[in-house]
A and B are shown apart, each in its own frame.
Chain A
């Protein structure tokens, strides 16, 4: 609670946190706020915003309500991005802990694999996975995570390396704890902070990747997403640009909220704020440059 209060005490934390809270509330209350199927026809097609009180943000070419799409889209966005970020952090932290604590050839092999993943553009990686498995929510989550686990892995590894020679590790070894038990139960909890402070960056990137995927038509076809709404509006971009512009603004607001909250949290945790996307390594953590 004290931590939360300190985060909210910063201007960034308050603004970002408030926006996120609204977004979460909307996503949770979607069935109440906009009952019924958001993909069903609700009124006349191509109503402009503020023209009809029943459809405050207008309707698209098929007469679907834009506001209802926006509300249900928030659900999809938060669900997919949240799950993808959690998966990316989980994979990254596990790999980083193993690499950092076991060292030797395990470390070498895992870091080479991470490097290989970082060489391929994350978005192409996600596309490749989805093209093989088909666009379902679960494969989209996995695809995004596969493109984003490398930075948490590197950061966790670096943190583990700085901790593994400490006295408490030696003590655990002396009392006969198993190597992996020491790594995950003794060292890892002390090394989590930098990786957790990456969560915001990864969530933000996941929101953008999910939007780009569904914009290209590779999202889950059974759910409304902001990206698919933008794509749908693109067909009538000249006549009804609001159809693409409104969901895009929701995207910007969401990513902005996540970034602001993340910066406030990072500042409170006394970690340098990160403005980088997940496939990026901080220069001082990157191995190749200095050989």
Chain B
């Protein structure tokens, strides 16, 4: 049991930034991102507690956490469009990190909201492939979809994003 707790602490410290970034890109606002990221780690913790030691040792943590996060988002937003309006002021004053100045944060928020406008199946694919920089194989694994499907969804998602923001070339 002690072992699981150490593994989990490492897991949180190693992956918190990536999983938070993933959650932000998938949900489109910081409030939901925090909830999704927390939920992801809590599910991971509950799962770890039931795994035998060799399974924990062989775990591909990054892919595994991505898969959990995708499922958390799918479960919460099932049938519901993501919230696009950030409710400013309802958030406790957690503020940006030291390097993240306000301008940059506003840009990021706008970007995240734009990605959140994509239909879920495109959004997941685009975020895993281009925000999180997973390979197509890893993304397919995390999404539980064939590689071909993921490729097609990434392509269509990017096309939509470009169409909305620039409206020019089609590639």
Q: Do A and B come from one complex?
A: no
